[in-house]
């Protein structure tokens, strides 16, 4: 089995870190843009898309900064992360996604994230 590679996507966003974080770290926020249905219990998130379900555990988080999830089916070292940073010069908010994919699937996975982020930005009024 080929080891997946970490890739990073960055998106400038016109939204406060506090509001954006709610869409990234709560089941109600994630359900707005990431999955059809999201529930969470004791740090475990249950995601549903068109009949399929996945679970992910929150492994690290810092309010208004980042949240890192680990899919229950994935190798221990793999994760996906949502991070919020501010640029020093312009004070612009940057939304960063870190995820893992096979090298040949990174482009497709990036397109999928682009689609999801477009939905997120629509929800936050960006």
Q: What is the structure's pLDDT at 89? A: 85
Q: What is the DSSP string of 42-110?
A: TTEEEEEETTEEEEEEEEEEETTTEEEEEETTS-TT--EEEEEEE-TTT--EEEEEEEEE-GGGHHHHH
Whether the predicted pLDDT of 110 surpasses 90:
yes
pLDDT digits (tens, 9 = 90+) for 11-36: 999 999 999 999 999 999 999 999 99
What are the extents of the domains in the chain? 24-123
The model's pTM = 0.93
The CATH number of the domain covering residues in 24-123? 3.30.530.20
């Amino acid at each position: 089995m080929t080891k997946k590679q970490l890739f990073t996507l960055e998106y400038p966003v016109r939204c406060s870190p506090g509001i954006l974080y709610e869409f990234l770290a709560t089941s109600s926020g994630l359900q707005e843009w990431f999955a059809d249905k999201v529930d969470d219990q004791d740090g475990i998130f249950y995601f549903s898309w068109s009949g399929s379900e996945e679970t992910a555990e929150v492994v690290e988080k810092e309010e208004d900064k980042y949240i890192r999830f680990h899919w229950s089916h994935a190798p221990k070292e793999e994760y996906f992360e949502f991070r919020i940073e501010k640029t020093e010069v312009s004070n612009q908010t940057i939304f960063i996604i870190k995820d893992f994919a096979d090298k040949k699937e990174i482009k497709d996975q990036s397109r999928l994230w682009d689609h999801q982020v477009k939905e997120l930005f629509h929800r936050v009024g960006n």
